[in-house]
Every structure is written in C-alpha cells, then in structure tokens.
Amino acid sequence: MTRLKPYLLSYAVALFSVPVIASDSYDSFISDAKIDGKVQSVFFDDENTTDNITKGAWTGAVWLNAETGYLADFVSVGGSAYRVAKLDMKHGNATSSNLLNADNEGFGKIGQIWVDFKLPDSYEGLSADVKIGRQLLLETGLVTISGSRSVPSAWQGVDASVAMDGFKGKVAWLNEVSGRTQSGFHPIVNEDGNKIDWVMGMQLGYTFELANQNSLELQYRNGLADNYLTAHNGNVWLKMPLYGGSELTLGGMYFYAKQDGDLWGASERDGSFENKAELGNLNATLNSGPWTFNAAFNYTKANTAANSITNGHHTIGHYNYNFGDNTHGVWDVPTSANISDFNFNKEKAWLIGAEYDFSDIGLEGLSLGYNFVYGSGMKAKELNGTAHDVAEHEHDLTMKYNFSQWGMKDLQFKLEYGYYRNDEAFRRATGQNESEKLRAWLSYNFTI
C-alpha cells in the first residue's frame, strides 16, 4: 500500500471543504484551536547487580502539541514536536536506558502530523472518528506506544474508533514507527532486521449495567503483524459496590499469540516462543477509602524451539507481546512488574499489593504503593539432562505526588523503585539478570 502522506491530506481536506462550509465553522476551527505540552525531567539509575553494569541518565524534554478546532464539526488537523536534552550521564554507564538516542545524546523530532475526521455532534448517542497520519496510538487492540521515557514513540497509519451507549470499538492499520529514542519514522522490523509491511490492531468492548449498581465489562482485543505474529486477548471485569462506598473488581484475562509467517524467525523462536504462547490471569482489586488492595495470579505456556540453547541450558521461553522488534504491544497483566514481566514458560506468578492515598490525612496529592510478585514452576534444564526448579521475585515501590495543594496541579512527580532477584539456573536459562531500578519523573503540563 502506498505510504501515507498526512501533510498532503491536511491540505487536500481544507481545499475541498471550502465551498461547502459556513463561515461560522471557520470561527470554531480557529477559536477552538489549542497549543499545549509538557516540560519533563527524567532520571533513570538501572543496575544489573549480577554483572555490576549500570545504565541510565538524567534528561530534560519538551513536548509541544498543536491542533485546530473542528471545521464544520467534522475535520481537524494537528501535530507534535519533541526535544530531548542530556543533563547528565554518569561515566561508565553502558547506555541511557532509552532516554537518549543511540549515541547517548539528545535529539528532536516531529512526532505527530495528523488529520482527524469525526462524526458531527448532531448524531446524539453515537460518536466516531478516523485519524490519519503520524500519531500517538495510546491503545488500539493490542498495539500501543511507549510513553515512559523522555519522549514517546509514535506510529504512522490510520486509527478509527466508534462508541454508542455501552459499546466501544477501535481498529488501526500502521506501516511505520518512530521509537522513543529515534528522530524519524522507520519500517517495522523483526529481530533480524527484516521488514514487516504493516501491523493491525482491533478491539471491541461492551459494558452491561446490572442491578444494584453492579456492572459487567467484556473486552476483546487483537493484533496482527503481517507475515509475523497474530495475537488475541479476552478480558472480563465484574464491578460490585460494597458497604461504605467500597468497590470490588474481579477480573479475568486470557492472552494467546502464535507465529503467522516466515518473518517469525529463528531469533524469535529461540528467544521467546517457537509456534505459540498463552497466558491466563485472575485478578481482584478492592477500593476502600484511601486504600487500594490488589491480588493476581497467572500461568504462562511459551515453549522455545527444541534446539534453543542459552548458557548451556535449554532456553526458558516467554510470552512475546510485541509486533516487531522496534514496536510496543499492550501488556497490562497485573503481575507485570517494573523489571520482570513474570511471563516465562510454565511460570505460576502471584501478586499482592496495596496503595494508600494520603489526601485523607491532609497530604493532598500524595500516594504510596507497594507490590510483591513471586513466580515459580519453571524448569531450568542443563544439556546433560539435569533439571532445576527455579523462581524469581520482585519488590516494587511507587510514590506519586501532585502539587495541587500548592496551587500547581499540573506539576507532578513520580518515583519508582524495583528490586528483582532470581535463581542462578534461571539466569543462565533466560539471560535475565538480577537488577535494581530507581526511576523518577518530574513533569509540568501547560496550555498556551
């Protein structure tokens, strides 16, 4: 398919719309326009404690977004530009942990240029839109971006959505990607660097409003990378109000992925899974006043190729949720921690955690959360046939603070610390080392 030219589309739309648009629609096109953005400072200090290797840096970044109002309540255009500067990087750090470019230096890029067509507001109870161009795809099906570094990644393609009553649907077709450390857009590739022509994502969801303020939400999502990988996901959540304003949410998730062509090559079959992988998850969340309690369990099946060897062991596979080596897929399983995803072959992973909002005791905007994840059931098999039962575990601490009580509600701080340990045989059979990560974000959102 011909490469999209979003900047030409915007001019074409404006040109052909002129004869049929009333003058007041031009007013809203300009008056509803907005310019906003973010100034952000990010600090990463990641340490591979097994090999004593450190990564990370301190960066500053500016995100600038501009978009028009809707012309004739139908079409708008917009774009985004990003700039990253290196503030500091400790001597001896191996990399910046994807905060800077490949040369560990700052960079800039035009991250978005898009045209958005929407259904006019006169269609009550129904909304729909189609966005064409380079854009931040927050989540369509199992396809997404990464927004946790200095600047976000982005996709080029088409993203469409529709919503009516309790029904929501989305679909996307994408053919290029801009990584979170890249200044341009590039072909989607597999782990051996071979081009994947396109990626698609789709999702459907419906929420049933039940008696006594209960609700049941069903969701289906998928992703397809041409001649590479197909993935499916089904989710269900039951929300139940409890005494005193508390709410209990019970959830179930199922992920399934399989190779879907020749581009699922030897690197993928040997490193993650050979033909297919699946994971099931059960989870519960209790919200009660300032407290949020979480618990979850999942089981994974992901066999690598029979001849896959890592450090003298048969490789322990894992669920690969990306749709190309330079892309990001959705992986919102509760047991996915700050460092490890706890999605290895035959792994049984458990999570327990809690978060407390200090607003009730006068510290408005401050919250503190802790999660513990433990995974076991994997077998690390040496080439001589000796098998070892292996496990991994992680402690995660998260602090968030919004400066709203100081009159700066758009200034936010977030701190994450992860402490990860595993068995030696597990490290040898996966290549995943023990590590610690300290990461902090200070961001200010503004509107001009």
The CA-atom distances, in angstroms, between 381 and each of 384, 424, 430 are: 8, 12, 11
pLDDT tens, residue order, the chain (448 aa):
444 444 444 444 443 444 444 455 677 888 899 999 999 999 999 999 999 999 999 999 999 999 999 999 999 999 999 999 999 999 999 999 999 999 999 999 999 999 999 999 878 889 999 999 999 999 999 999 999 999 999 999 999 999 998 899 999 999 999 999 999 999 999 999 999 999 999 999 999 999 999 999 999 999 999 999 999 999 999 999 998 899 999 999 999 999 999 999 999 999 999 999 999 999 999 999 999 999 999 999 999 999 999 999 999 999 999 999 999 999 999 999 999 999 999 999 999 999 999 998 989 999 999 999 999 999 999 999 999 999 999 999 999 999 988 888 899 999 999 999 999 999 999 999 999 999 999 999 999 8
CA–CA dist 160, 127 (Å, integer):
11
Query: Which amino acid does the sequence have at 236?
Result: V
Among residues 12, 64, 63, 11, the alpha carbon closest in space to that of 35 is found at 64
pLDDT of residue 51: 94
CA angle 366, 370, 373 (to 5 degrees): 155
pLDDT of residue 6: 47
pLDDT of residue 124: 84
The whole model's pTM is what? Answer: 0.91
pLDDT of residue 16: 44
Judged on CB neighbours under 10 Å (0-12, 13-18, 19+), 64 is middle
Residue with token string 């890029």: 109
Architecture of domain 196-448: Beta Barrel (2.40)
State both tokens at 11.
Answer: 């001019």
In sequence order, the β-bridge partners of residue 386 are: none
Among residues 406, 349, 405, the alpha carbon closest in space to that of 372 is found at 349
Q: Strands 53-55, 34-48: parallel, antiparallel or unpaired by DSSP?
A: antiparallel
Among residues 210, 384, 382, the alpha carbon closest in space to that of 313 is found at 382
430: left (phi over 0), alpha (psi -120 to 50) or beta: alpha
Contact yes or no for 375/346 (Cβ under 8 A): no
Contact yes or no for 173/155 (Cβ under 8 A): no
pLDDT of residue 25: 64
CA–CA dist 284, 287 (Å, integer):
10
